[in-house]
Amino acid sequence: MASAAPDHDHEPGADPGFQAGELHFEAPDGVASLRGDWTLRALTPGIAALRRRLATVPSTARWQLGGAGRLDSFGATLLWQAWGRRWPEHIELSDERRQFIEEVAAAAAHPLPMPPRFTVIDAVVLLGAALLNLFSHAGDFVRLLGQLLLDLLRLASRPREWPLLEISANLHKVGVKAMPVTALVGFLIGVVLSYLSALQLKAFGADIFIVNILGLGIIRELGPVLVSVLVAGRSGSAMTAQLGVMRVTEEVDALAAMGISRTIRLVLPKVVALTLAMPLLVLWTSAVALAGGMLSAWVQLDLSFAFFIETLPRVVPLANVYIGLVKGAVFGLLIALVACHFGLRVAPNTESLSTNTTASVVSAITLVILVDAVFAIATRNIGVPI
């Protein structure tokens, strides 16, 4: 349909400036006349006052549009709405302008469809969809896991196909580059934990038990979980976002079209790298946290570093270190798998990217804490001195 402004008297050379649109209405003779430009730009400064004036004009007024300058579709819409979406009884305007306003009115007569209202049925559908979505997630996750296992079998017989370059690049990215932040957080947690424990222990005169508390707590429990939370937020989200953007830009499809397995090239390096890097990060963070605790114990309780270091292996069995390392590897595996799973589910739009990245981090942390609880129960008889 044709729709616009033959009326948009925009001859070349017209001054880029404008005259603000005005409305003159004289009550006695009931004439409403338009002056100035009725365009979005010209009307913007005084729009509130103009709306008020428009509202005061009675429906019996005689409208004169001849004096107005330019009229654009915003001005026309404003008038049409002020007239109550129909032509006033008395109106003077040029044929061109009448045609223009009629086009605006014709478009307005076909209103946009409203988004459907939310009903009880929608609520049921939403609930059902959420449940089915859970199954679809489970299915996808199992498929990813299976594909990864098949790829590992394939790679077992062809050692030359291992994506070693990608693995080492990922190892650097998720391992080495994460060292400063995990060290900082670990150190501070160690200091705080030691400080708070020392306050209590002092009251009982049980100062030397600070070594037991810090050693067991950090090596067995706090180190792995703390690193997992940090790594899920730092590397897990990055993995999801990276795979997600690769989905959006069709890079994943390009790989598939070249006959290159996306699990071998994209997922496997991330999973292997994080599974290898996490135990090392756990070791590193636990060590730094213990150093922080040791410093705090020295300041608060006057325990010497030498005493702390000498006592630690006696009160904390070596099994705890192994438990911490195994936990680190398992958590790393889980975080990377969850991150890749959500990354590969991203649909090509920004909303999906943000939803999946959030879901990836939240699921990874939740899963880590759940599995940690399972570990706590399974290893309750190992490495705890009684």
Partner 1 sequence: MSAAPVIELTGVVTRFGDNLVHDGIDMAIAPGEVVALVGGSGSGKTTLLRHIIGLTRPAAGEVRLFGESLLSASAGAVRALQRRFGMLFQQGALFSAFNVAENIGFPLRESGVASEAEIRDLVALKLAMVELEPAHALLMPAELSGGMIKRVALARALALEPELLLLDEPTAGLDPDRSAAFVALIRSLQRRLGLTVVLVTHDVDTLAALATRVAVLGERRILSYAPLEDTLKVDHPFIQRFFHGEHGRWALARSNAGD
Contacting positions for partner 1 (CB under 8 A)? 1-6, 8, 10-16, 39-41, 43-44, 47, 72-74, 77-78, 80-81, 103-104, 106-108, 110-113, 115, 347-351
Contacts of 205 (CB under 8 A, 6+ apart): none
Nearer to partner 1, 2 or 257 (CB): 2
Residue with Cβ nearer partner 1 (79 or 268): 79
The least CB distance from residue 74 to partner 1, in Å, is: 6
Strand ranges for 67-198 from DSSP E: 68-71, 90-92
Q: Which is nearer to partner 1, 43 or 334 (CB)?
A: 43
Which CB atom, from 38 or from 187, has the smaller least distance to partner 1?
Answer: 38
State the Cα–Cα distance between residues 151 and 155, nearest whole angstrom: 6
Q: How far apart are CA 286 and CA 283, in angstroms?
A: 5
Q: Distance between CA 99 and CA 67 in Å, rounded?
A: 17
Specify the residue, 4 or 188, whose C-beta has the smaller distance to partner 1. 4
Rounded to whole angstroms, the Cα distance separating 204 from 87 reads: 90
CB of 55 to partner 1, least distance (A): 12
Q: Find the distance separating the first CA and the last CA of the chain, reported in whole Å.
A: 86
* Minimum separation from the CB atom of position 110 to partner 1 (A): 5
Strands 31-38 and 68-71: parallel
Nearer to partner 1, 55 or 386 (CB): 55
Using an 8 Å Cβ cutoff, are 201 and 207 in contact?
yes
- Check if the beta carbon of residue 342 is closer than 8 Å to that of residue 360: yes
Q: How far is the CB of 112 from partner 1 (least distance, A)?
A: 4
| 367 beta partners | none
Tokens of 3: 């729709």
Query: From the CB of 97, what's the least distance to partner 1, in Å?
Result: 14
Find the shortest distance in angstroms from Cβ 184 to partner 1: 35
Query: What does the alpha-carbon distance between residue 71 and residue 78 come to, in Å, rounded to a whole number?
Result: 11
Which residue number, 11 or 302, has a Cβ lying nearer to partner 1? 11
**CB-based contact 374:276 (threshold 8 Å):** no
CB of 151 to partner 1, least distance (A): 31
